[in-house]
Structure 1
Amino acid sequence: MSEIALQEFVAATAEKFGIPGICVGIRVDGREIFAAHGVTSIENPLPVDKDTLFTVGSVSKTFTVTAIMQLVAEGKVELDAPVRTYVPELTLIDETSAATITVGQLLNHTSGLEWNVINDTGEGDDALARFVAELAEIPLIAAPGVRASYSQAGYNLLGRVIEKVTGQPFEDVVRTRVLAPLGLTATGYLRNELMTRRFSVGHERGEDGELSVIRAWNGTRANNPGGGISSTVTEQLRWARFQLGDGTTEDGETVLPAAWLDLMKQPTVQLKSSTLGDALGLCWFLRDVDGVRTVGHGGSAFGQFAELLLVPERDFAISVMSNASPDGIPANVAIVRWALEHYLGVIDSDPEPIAHDPDRARELVGTYDIDAMTMTVLMDDTGLSLECKIKPEIRAASDTDLPQDHPPFPFGLLPGDDDEYIITEGSFKGQRGYFSRNTSGKITGLDLAGRLFTRV
């Protein structure tokens, strides 16, 4: 397929979903192709191109895990060692968990830590140290190693592990040990290093259908290990080449020995009914699509959305970035699926839900939450829907523009008796999850986007 076909599809997708700016980079057959459409901001519009910076949210975790694995390869960190080996001051609400959570469990989201601690510990070099001091407040959703549940806090804690082992600020370690050797000169964390380049801002669609700029650009410094990096599709493809390669730079310098690079992509824990993947490696989500194994990670931050997907056996990679909420997610998914089909002949499609069963659905109705959000399962004559809302107290305490709440998403149960479901309409269309039960069969939780929401 030519670059013209890609450019036409990207432009059509941006128009369909009303996205101000989208940029795409694809590695296929040993070459790289790019397509861009739209502008960086509706208020200060500059053309988006392959070198425009976007905040990539949780794709940042792939840089954090690489820095950790460098320390593992050097014998300075052990995956099976308790985190307290490196951060002895770690305190949690449960002492047993605090003493036994391992580095590896942080990497594959089986630590039992809930999603995050919503706080601002400043922009100084002590931001992560202060963040860790407040982890005593974080709820625990399970004992360490029992189950996977996506935790931003876990990755921010990993950032502190890196600081304690190296004696340097987290961002400096990633810059000097990962970014610089690979020539990723535009990619970074700190605003004063990024604002001299062309960058995209996020947008939010209001109830009237109109877009507005989101004033916040990225999160607090303590959130950098889990979601603070900004990058371009050009450099994301360079990052993908490294992840698909043997751990060396183009000049032959070893950044991470190949065995450790490969270990990150091996399954460590299975995931149930997750759009993100069938299993987790160390950070990476692993998913079989139409007979091929994919390795990927997505991210979102203040109205900007990123996807990075690798197909190792085909030496294929795609990076997609868009800058409007809530439809950046389905726009990115549409582009990734189009690229898989047109460049690899790989079809990625959603399963079909079963017909609405009121008797079975009724026991799912109720409220589920994490620290920042509440999920409410509703039912009417037409079926089930899922209402996602940021908690009022979180909105009241925030100094930044938080995303608007979505209208309820219709969803349906999938075939079988595993309480799995799929969202069928709205900007979360295609997202999958499941309901969990206790030993007596009572519904106790809801999983969405890899996170457990506990029933209230």
Structure 2
Amino acid sequence: MFKINRPRLASCSVLTLLLGASHCIAATQSDAQLDALVKAAIGPVMQQQNIPGVSIAITQNGQQHYFNYGVASKEDGKPVSKDTLFEIGSVSKTFATTLVAYAKVSGKLSLSDRASQIWPELRGSAFDTISVLQLSTYTAGGLPLQFPDEADHPDKMLAYFKQWKPVYAPGTHRQYSNPSLGLSGYLAAKGMGQPYDELMEKTLLPQLGLKHTFLNVPQDQMGLYAQGYSKDDKPVRVSPGALDSQAYGVKTSAADLLRYVEANLKPATLEKPLQQAIALTHSGYYTVGEMTQGLGWEFYHYPASLKTLLTGNSTEMAMQAHKVQWLKPPQPAPDTAWFNKTGSTGGFGAYVAFVPSKDIGIVILANKNYPNPERIRLAHKIMSALTE
């Protein structure tokens, strides 16, 4: 069912714990042992959370490994594969900020530009004093997690932004927000003079080598699009909304998302403007506790403890405002950093993490929105076993 390459030997003590083995594994870890490691980690989660299907992809030292479990749809029983399309929710934000960074290095905008400079219809609003950088880092002044229902439409978002008033002085507090980061991606596209979806589909995704990543799944790819399931196991897929493409609208496969991780691990393989853009997204702009905020990506000193990762990806971090400590000037992330991003829609859950110094990354995609802590524990367990 899977094709699994042979990675380096993982720590005997961790593998023993994961596999329930009574002895240490010597020499080279076999395909069966790697398969067993991942199965031991994901099996209980799928059972406890009633997840129909999961696709896990790992890159280590340039080798790709795929593990697929369960079904893409309970209705037709089609098995998950590395090419199954999943909604990745807020992992989409890292694509939006990569476009922001690409626009910046291409000279189409500055991160210090005010929103109303780029979108003149915002003049006379709070966005006369809010920068692209603040929008890209959730520090605009308290934009909410989501648009209010009455404003959640492309034709209504301008009126919402024009009347919105900051809760905090811009730049002082982090408030995780779809409207905030979504607007930064929208402004990047305006600065480049093309629609956002067109720039993604014709410029950024092709340059990243992503051929099965979509904002709108083409009809001839719908057979690969997994069915998502709500918490009460009802079939559901993401609905259109204001700035959906920028904030949560990407659909992709484990294979394509792993290529994206590899581009972030080794941007030198890309064309120079995109290399520079990815480096910019990896810069740290401020800290909240042990989390450093990049553009889209969040990162931690490595090795990152499970407790640190759970805190940084907690409900409290997503739902509450936090004072920020700005890094002046912004600091390039060290190679010894754990980068990550969670993402959810009503019927899907995603997690991506990578560590450049270890040349390792992981993608976990599921067709159910299950709790973030379970995703973090799963990734931390697997990554620890492969790197210690």
TM-score range, shorter chain: 0.7 to 0.9
Q: Deviation of residue 176 (structure 1)?
A: 1.5
Could you give the per-residue CA deviations for residues 144-183 of structure 1, whole angstroms, max 9, x where no partner exists? 1011111110122123213322332211101112111222
| 2:285 maps to 1:268 | yes
> Which residue of structure 2 aligns with residue 100 of structure 1?
129
Could you give the per-residue CA deviations for residues 203-262 of structure 1, whole angstroms, max 9, x where no partner exists? 1343xxxx3322x3344263110110011111111001111223543xxx335133x422
C-alpha separation in 2, matches of 1:286 and 1:184 = 24
C-alpha separation in 1, matches of 2:288 and 2:371 = 24
One-letter code aligned to 1:102 = S
Whether contact under 8 Å (1:19, 1:328) holds in the other structure is: no
C-alpha separation in 2, matches of 1:155 and 1:194 = 31
Q: Deviation of residue 306 (structure 1)?
A: 0.5
Match of 2:201 among 157, 175, 182: 175
Whether contact under 8 Å (1:117, 1:137) holds in the other structure is: no
> Which residue of structure 2 aligns with residue 79 of structure 1?
111
Q: Deviation of residue 88 (structure 1)?
A: 1.5
- Relative to the length of structure 2, the TM-score reads 0.77
> Which residue of structure 2 aligns with residue 257 of structure 1?
275
Whether contact under 8 Å (2:114, 2:128) holds in the other structure is: yes
Whether contact under 8 Å (2:303, 2:338) holds in the other structure is: no
| 2:71 maps to 1:45 | no
Match of 2:241 among 213, 220, 239: 220
Whether contact under 8 Å (1:53, 1:231) holds in the other structure is: yes
> Which residue of structure 1 aligns with residue 382 of structure 2?
339
- Identity %, equivalent residues: 24
* Cα distance, 1:247–1:128 mapped onto 2, change above 3 Å: farther
Q: Deviation of residue 193 (structure 1)?
A: 5.2
Q: Which aligned pairs between 1:265-344 and structure 2 lie closer than 5 A?
A: 265-272=282-289, 278-290=291-303, 292-325=336-369, 327=370, 329-344=372-387
One-letter code aligned to 2:375 = N
C-alpha separation in 1, matches of 2:245 and 2:220 = 14
Match of 2:169 among 129, 139, 143: 143
* Cα distance, 1:184–1:221 mapped onto 2, change above 3 Å: farther
Q: Deviation of residue 137 (structure 1)?
A: 4.6
C-alpha separation in 1, matches of 2:371 and 2:220 = 22
Whether contact under 8 Å (1:107, 1:282) holds in the other structure is: yes
> Which residue of structure 2 aligns with residue 8 of structure 1?
39
CA RMSD between the two structures = 2.4
Instruction: Specify the SS of the correspondent of 2:243.
Output: helix
Could you give the per-residue CA deviations for residues 313-354 of structure 1, whole angstroms, max 9, x where no partner exists? 1111100011224x3534422320221221112xxxxxxxxx
Instruction: Specify the SS of the correspondent of 2:376.
Output: helix
| 2:132 maps to 1:132 | no
* Cα distance, 1:160–1:290 mapped onto 2, change above 3 Å: closer
| 2:89 maps to 1:57 | yes
C-alpha separation in 2, matches of 1:120 and 1:173 = 28
> Which residue of structure 2 aligns with residue 22 of structure 1?
54
One-letter code aligned to 1:213 = P
* Cα distance, 1:82–1:179 mapped onto 2, change above 3 Å: same
C-alpha separation in 2, matches of 1:217 and 1:107 = 23
Could you give the per-residue CA deviations for residues 85-140 of structure 1, whole angstroms, max 9, x where no partner exists? 11111268xx4x32110011111111112223234779xxxx64642333235453
C-alpha separation in 1, matches of 2:215 and 2:118 = 24
Runs in 1 of length 4+ with deviation above 6 angstroms?
Answer: none
* Cα distance, 1:41–1:141 mapped onto 2, change above 3 Å: farther
* Cα distance, 1:7–1:310 mapped onto 2, change above 3 Å: closer
C-alpha separation in 2, matches of 1:194 and 1:290 = 43
Question: Which is worse superposed, 283-292 or 31-40?
Answer: 283-292
Could you give the per-residue CA deviations for residues 19-53 of structure 1, whole angstroms, max 9, x where no partner exists? 11111001112211110110112223210111100
Higher relative contact order (CA 8 A, sep 6+): 2
Q: Deviation of residue 82 (structure 1)?
A: 0.8
Instruction: Specify the SS of the correspondent of 1:46.
Output: coil
* Cα distance, 1:48–1:221 mapped onto 2, change above 3 Å: farther
C-alpha separation in 2, matches of 1:107 and 1:12 = 36
* Cα distance, 1:37–1:139 mapped onto 2, change above 3 Å: farther
Whether contact under 8 Å (1:159, 1:225) holds in the other structure is: yes
Whether contact under 8 Å (1:55, 1:230) holds in the other structure is: yes
One-letter code aligned to 1:261 = I
One-letter code aligned to 2:209 = G
Give the structure with the larger helix fraction. 2
Q: Deviation of residue 301 (structure 1)?
A: 0.4
One-letter code aligned to 2:288 = L
- Relative to the length of structure 1, the TM-score reads 0.66
Instruction: Specify the SS of the correspondent of 2:122.
Output: coil
> Which residue of structure 2 aligns with residue 234 of structure 1?
255
Instruction: Specify the SS of the correspondent of 1:332.
Output: helix
Tell me the number of residue pairs that the alignment of Structure 1 and Structure 2 aligns: 324
One-letter code aligned to 1:69 = A
C-alpha separation in 2, matches of 1:255 and 1:36 = 35
Whether contact under 8 Å (1:114, 1:141) holds in the other structure is: no
Instruction: Specify the SS of the correspondent of 1:294.
Output: strand
Could you give the per-residue CA deviations for residues 434-453 of structure 1, whole angstroms, max 9, x where no partner exists? xxxxxxxxxxxxxxxxxxxx
> Which residue of structure 2 aligns with residue 388 of structure 1?
none
Whether contact under 8 Å (1:55, 1:218) holds in the other structure is: no
Could you list the runs of 5+ residues in structure 1 that have no partner in the other structure?
A: 346-456
Q: Which aligned pairs between 1:367-386 and structure 2 lie closer than 5 A?
A: none
